[in-house]
């Protein structure tokens, strides 16, 4: 196992992570999830810090799964574009709907 390369080639000519990398990624994901839940129970934590740190940790988990488990890090740019493009639109949809309803997480709500 130790002499396996960090990236193994597939029959399609691309590549993907090795079993060791998968296990390491899973351990990191478990640690981040535990940190996320633990952050909730820190007494007196400012709301802006709680929300920001939860969003950052969630984004990190998201990109670890997409990059390593879904192999997008090693895959063809066309496949990356097929996913990242709509993902950007999805985030824009969320931001737009929240702006329309004045429901931003970090900013005080404004009654229109």
Partner 1 sequence: MADHAAAHAIHDPNIGNTGLDNRKMGMWAFLGSDCMFFGSLIGTYLAYKGKSLSGPGPHDVFDIPLTSYSAALLLASSLTMVLALSALEQNRVKKAAGWLLATALLGFHFVLNQVYEFTTFALHHNLKLSTNLFGSSFFVLTGFHGAHVTGGVIWLLILVTLAWRGLLDKRDYTKVEIAGLYWHFVDIVWIAIFTVIYLIP
User: Which residues form the interface with partner 1 (CB under 8 A)?
Assistant: 10-13, 18-19, 22-23, 26, 29-30, 33, 36-37, 39-40, 47, 50-51, 54-55, 57-58, 61-62, 65-66, 69-71, 76, 78-79, 82-83, 85-87, 89-91, 93-98, 100-101, 103, 105, 109
The answer to whether 64 and 57 have CB atoms below 8 angstroms apart is no
Could you tell me the smallest distance in angstroms from the CB atom of residue 2 to partner 1? Answer: 16
Could you tell me the smallest distance in angstroms from the CB atom of residue 16 to partner 1? Answer: 8
- Return the number of other C-beta atoms located less than 10 Å from residue 59's C-beta: 10
């Amino acid at each position: 196992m130790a002499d396996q390369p960090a990236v193994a080639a597939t029959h399609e000519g691309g590549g993907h992570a090795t079993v060791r990398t998968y296990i390491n990624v899973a351990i990191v994901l478990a640690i981040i999830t535990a940190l996320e839940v633990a952050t909730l129970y820190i007494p007196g934590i400012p709301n802006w810090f709680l929300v920001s740190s939860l969003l950052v940790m969630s984004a990190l988990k998201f990109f670890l799964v997409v990059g390593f488990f879904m192999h997008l890090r090693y895959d063809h740019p066309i496949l990356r574009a097929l996913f990242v493009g709509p993902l950007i639109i999805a985030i824009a949809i969320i931001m737009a709907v929240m702006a329309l309803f004045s429901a931003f997480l970090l900013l005080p709500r404004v009654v229109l």
